[in-house]
Chain A
Amino acid sequence: GEDVEQSLFLSVREGDSSVINCTYTDSSSTYLYWYKQEPGAGLQLLTYIFSNMDMKQDQRLTVLLNKKDKHLSLRIADTQTGDSAIYFCAESPDRGSTLGRLYFGRGTQLTVWP
């Protein structure tokens, strides 16, 4: 399978910006996703970006993609306590036997302190 790496923990103060980082290995064109999972809940799709884009912004969320370094980041502006959750980065390659599969990172636990 594909390797998607994330740091496991991030703590920030309420009102600060959070930046969650992810690296992936697939070199083909691909969609990259960010999902949020609150305790006991399913995965909520936050945003996604195609690998021919550098940046995507959606309200408080900014996704940056460095395709050369295969590095993806999710920036949450003005982080709130309700943003505390696990954030999964996921990759959907477009080739061969990996086509049609989502490869997840291990998830980053974001804790927001009041």
Chain B
Amino acid sequence: DTEVTQTPKHLVMGMTNKKSLKCEQHMGHRAMYWYKQKAKKPPELMFVYSYEKLSINESVPSRFSPECPNSSLLNLHLHALQPEDSALYLCASSQTWRTSREEETQYFGPGTRLLVL
């Protein structure tokens, strides 16, 4: 089983709202990722967690706050977003990270489509 689940599937929020995106995997993977994808573009890396520690933050604005409560869960807390933050947010996981091996293959979830009004 190579399933990564994400909730909610769709989210509409105002610029003053606080919301969270959730991602879960039960494959025993120790690396988890958040990506942002705009229409007709490839995914852009936002954050990488390895063994529940934040390893990469790609200079993402502080209105996006990631959290990894345990090895199976990854959250993305959203606050005071802008309309330009509307996008598909993808979560991914891999067995390992920075090992340059087959186990670093990333598996993606279905995404959360976010609309900021």
Write the residues of chain A forming the contact surface with B, with a CB cutoff of 8 angstroms: 29, 31, 33, 35, 40-45, 48, 50, 88, 92, 94, 99-102, 104-107
Contacts and interface: CB of A to CB of B under 8 A. Distances in A.
Nearest to A45: B107
**Which of A50, A92, A100, A101 has the most chain B CB within a 10 Å cutoff?**
A100
B69 interface: no
Contacts, number: 55
A83 B8 CA distance: 27
A33 B106 CA distance: 10
Nearest to A99: B98
B42 A105 contact: yes
B104 A42 contact: no
Interface of B: 2, 4, 6, 40-43, 45, 48, 55-56, 90, 92, 97-98, 100, 102, 104-111, 113
B45 A45 contact: no
Contacts of B43: 43, 104
B42 A107 contact: yes
A104 B44 CA distance: 9
A42 B106 CA distance: 12
A49 to B, nearest CB: 11
B42 A100 contact: no
B106 to A, nearest CB: 6
Given A44-B108, A99-B98, A104 B42 contact: yes
Given A50-B102, A94-B100, A100-B104, A41 B42 contact: no
B90 A43 contact: yes
Contacts of A29: 100
Given A45-B105, A50-B102, 10 more contacts: A31-B102, A40-B113, A42-B4, A42-B90, A48-B105, A94-B100, A100-B48, A100-B104, A102-B106, A106-B41
